[in-house]
Amino acid sequence: MPTALITGATAGIGAAFARHLAADGFSLVLVARDGERLSAVAEELRLRYGVSSEVLPADLSADEGLEAVEERLRRGVDLLVNNAGFGHGDASSEVSVDEERRMLKVHCEAVLRLTLAALPGMRKRGRGAVINVASVAAFFPQGTYSASKAWVVSFSESMAAELAGSRVRVMALCPGFVRTEFHDRASIDMSGLPGFLWLSADKVVGEAMRDLARGVWVSVPDLRYKVITRIGTLVPHRLAAEVSRRFVRR
């Protein structure tokens, strides 16, 4: 039975990955800060899908948490989903440096360290995959969040290129706006966002897994967001940043 480790597994995209992979027969290692909530998710998956789930409470903004997950990855997994992340409701210039550093720790350092902890075992076995959850925001400069997700995309593409020709894959997943707890937890008012721009977490995960099977390096679920990200890569960065700033302000 293949094993998948998912960070940020208690809600949103992480929970959707857990459901999808459990339905596919994966044994799961669920990682998040809230151990009680993790246990509840693991029990729900056991009852619904009959799969075992290892619970690993860990704060990825702390070295102790990262080291615990690194150690588990070195014991071997078939799929790593680096999904843990968060946002800020204020502009980067209004957020404390400590909070910005915490974001970079979770979005960048954790992705780096956990990916590099998982890959040696995968390469030795000749199979495996890593999905690093980024965002459409990576293509539109808008503060530290966008910058950190742009790094995730670049890092994932670099690893995918390095592993090209092998049976080990690395992919960046860049969803648009997804109906999760993300915006509420960041105190971001999304009431003005048009309904047609919202995606479901299950749809995002389904498309991500299809893209992974196809060997895609950067997965952007949904045609609407494929068009939006394409525009973001073609227009000058200054213009993309201005459009993004006006949209977020509105």
Catalytic residue among 17, 26, 139, 145: 145
Percentage of the chain beyond pLDDT 70 is: 82
Residue by residue, what is the 3-state secondary structure of 162-192?
HCCCCCEEEEEECCCEECCCHHHHCCCCCCC
CATH number of the domain within which 226 lies: 3.40.50.720
Cα separation, 242 vs 141, whole angstroms: 9
Owning domain of residue 124:
3-249
What does the pLDDT look like over 160-219, one tens digit per residue? 999 999 999 999 999 987 765 554 454 454 555 555 566 889 999 999 999 999 999 999
* Number of domains into which the chain is organized: 1
What does the pLDDT look like over 12-30, one tens digit per residue? 999 999 999 999 999 999 9
Active site residue 225: no
Percentage of the chain beyond pLDDT 90 is: 70
**What is the reported pLDDT for 183?**
45
